Amino acid sequence: MKNAGLNEPMNFTVRNDFYASEQERAMYKAACRYESDRVSMINESMRKGIIQTAINMRKENFDSGVIAKITGLSIEEIEQL
């Protein structure tokens, strides 16, 4: 399995022959769901931080093009803030 980046959902496939018991498979699935949820929460927090940075930059009258370059947001997203 390739490494998932922060912006990519994790895709875990559980093979029944990899873990010997049903309990081990259930624990593995739970760990995968936990990790996927954790990554989603990190991504959402990062997005909120980027948006707040763009809002602060707009308040300081930064040009939308500069904000877009720094934050990675589109001009349209910035104009909606």
For the chain, give the percent of residues with pLDDT over 70: 75
Mean pLDDT of 24-50: 91
Please state the pTM of the whole predicted model: 0.62
HSE-CB for 53 with a 13 A CA cutoff: 14
Report the number of distinct structural domains present in the chain: 1
pLDDT at 20 over 80: no
Of 9-18, 27-36, 37-46, the least confident: 9-18
Mean pLDDT of 33-38: 92
- Does residue 31 sit within a domain? yes
- Backbone φ and ψ for 45, nearest 5 degrees, come out as -65, -40
> How far, in Å, CA of 40 to CA of 71, rounded?
19
- Does residue 6 sit within a domain? no
Residue 37: give the domain boundaries: 22-79
Q: Across the chain, what does the average pLDDT equal? A: 83
Q: Are 55 and 44 in contact (CB under 8 A)?
A: no
- Does residue 10 sit within a domain? no
- Does residue 11 sit within a domain? no
- Does residue 14 sit within a domain? no
